[in-house]
Structure 1
Amino acid sequence: MTKPALTLVIPFYNEQECAERAVSELAAALNSVEPAFELLLVENASSDGTRALLRRAAAADPRIRVVELDVNIGYGGAVLKGLSLAGGEWVGFTCGDGEIRPEDTAWICSLARAPGVSLCKAKRLNRQDGAWRKFLSLGYHFLVGFLFNIHVTDINGYPVVMRREVYSALRLARTDWVFNVEMLLRLRQAGLRMVEADVQHRPRLGGRSHVGLWTPLLFFMQLISLWAHERFAREEK
């Protein structure tokens, strides 16, 4: 395989009901805009049949690779693992549940390559993940705005695509759910330009969300951890 122009990382954890379809649809969409793509599928120690399905997808297309983890290293950890292995001039990540239409993902990848754009991310419209998730999202965005003065309509909107040198400059380290917050914070600190583009949200292709009853508390604790790290880092300067 020649060096890819674009690498997208997709973390998977117990997504056997949607993984194969999500990967095949995305590969077809990317092929229409950038045939020299690479999909890095990070299998994050699933306990179902996800790994076998991802292996089958990779066997059918040399542009698809599977990174198999025996221990779950968190959402951010899986993304960072994939990005550390990415070969593209542009790199990014997205979801493996099919909630973003593949043609929209391909469009975001094209926008990210426009002159002067450091990073391009999606802003999900018409969220289809229920009233409870929408309520949690409002609280999460309020807290991020209060703690970090980050006011973005959709913090966890994906896909996210950036130039390789931008990713290297951000020096991301969070391996948990607040990975995206750290990314936006580092982007602002570096004075780099971000572009947000509207995409239509749709229900996941199968399976269920991994956002559980205790997830809001986990998010809160991780945000406080990031806030404390930033505050102490400023005081040390």
Structure 2
Amino acid sequence: MPMHDAAAFVGAAIRSVQAQTVQEWELLVVDDSSRDDSHAVAERAAAADPRVRVLRNEGPGGAGPTRNVGIEAARGRYIAFLDSDDLWLPAKLERQLALLEVSGAPLVYSAYYKVDADFSGEAVDFAPNGRVVRAPLRLEYRHMLRQDYIGFLTAVYDTRALGKRLLPSIERRQDYALMLAILRDGHVARGLDEPLALYRAGRTGSLSANKLVAARYNWHIYRHVEELPLPRALWAFGNYAVRAGLKYLI
């Protein structure tokens, strides 16, 4: 759980992990130079629950490097991701661990709900709102080039199959680049079209600004990370533009 100036949200995010029906987990909250009370909130949770550990990112800032601190410190077999302003629904880990076992896939994900930026509820009390970002049941590399179908707050990967895979050193969209890198190696990811998490939409920046930034970094990934030939990069970007526009309408 990367954390930066999230004092208003991180307590609920931590409680959503503590409310999981699966109770054998560790939560690594990694503080990225917060200037508010985020660190104190996380430390209080850790003092009351030994499964919660609070770390600091002493290196380069940003969500990617901060997540990598947590990945490197993790002691469990499975690596899962949750931002400090998002929430997991109670059965999230149970349902995905079952999928990992039955499918044999090294990477799983699920559908998720969108909630407003000012959502103040708890995951255990959430009533379905109809704003669902759907998840395909199976993904290969070629599918993920068309669109980032994996909500990172739902991603879980198996270190026995993949090792510890870190997010790449690019400025943005490191989560998408990591999912592409795993699937590029020939792995197949499996999904549940059941919403298992809550994504807080529109917390920072305008919708149009976010879309433009995401588009620019997707293009960077296609051309400079995946090193796609220009025709294939244009094909991928065209697919992304159409599908991303539809997703933003949810």
Q: TM-score, normalised by structure 1?
A: 0.71
The answer on whether the counterparts of 2:153 and 2:199 sit within 8 Å (CA) in structure 1 is no
Question: CA distance change for structure 1 residues 172 and 19 in 2, over 3 Å: closer, same or farther?
Answer: closer
Q: Counterpart of 2:99 in 1: which secondary structure?
A: helix
Distance 2:203 2:30 in 1: 17
Q: 72, 87, 99: which one pairs with 1:84?
A: 72
Mapped pair 1:33 → 2:22: yes
The match for 1:185 is 180
Structure 1 portions without partners, runs of 5+ = 1-9, 131-136, 138-144
TM-superposition CA deviations, 1:51-95 (whole Å, max 9, x none): 100011111121111112367621222212211111111112122
Aligned pair count reads 206
2:145 alignment partner in structure 1: 149
Q: Distance in 2 between matches of 1:222 and 1:151?
A: 13
**Distance change (3 Å), C-alpha of 1:212 and 1:44:** farther
Offset of residue 113 of structure 1: 4.0
Q: Which residue of 2 aligns with 1:74?
A: 62
* Cα distance in 2 for residues equivalent to 1:188 and 1:71: 28
8 A contact 1:39–1:64 mirrored in 2? yes
1:111-190 equivalences in 2 (<5 Å): 111-125=99-113, 127-129=114-116, 149-151=145-147, 154-168=149-163, 170=165, 172-190=167-185
Identity of aligned residues (%): 20
| Distance in 1 (alpha carbons) for counterparts of 2:199 and 2:151 | 16
Q: Which amino acid aligns with 1:219?
A: A
Q: Is the 8 A contact 1:156 1:180 kept in 2?
A: no
- Corresponding residue of 2:43: 55
**Residue 176 of structure 1: how far off its partner (Å):** 4.0
Structure-2 residue corresponding to 1:194? 189
Out of 31, 42, 60, the position equivalent to 1:43 is 31
Residue 204 (structure 2) aligns with = 210
Q: Quick one: distance in 2 between partners of 1:191 and 1:44?
A: 33
> Match of 1:97, SS?
coil
* In 2: Cα distance, 1:230 partner to 1:223 partner: 10
Select which of 11, 35, 51 maps to 1:20: 11
User: Could you say what secondary structure the match of 1:33 adopts?
Assistant: coil
Alpha-carbon RMSD: 3.4
Equivalent residue letter for 1:75: A
Q: Which residue of 1 aligns with 2:244?
A: none
Change (3 A) 1:179 1:39: same
Q: Contact (CA 8 Å) 1:148, 1:227: kept in 2 or not?
A: no
State the TM-score, normalized to the length of structure 2.
Answer: 0.68
- How far residue 157 of structure 1 moved from its aligned partner, in angstroms, is 4.3
In the TM superposition, what is the alpha-carbon distance from 1:40 to its structure 2 partner? 0.5
**Structure 1 residues 180 and 203: alpha-carbon distance in aligned structure 2, compared to 1, 3 A threshold:** closer
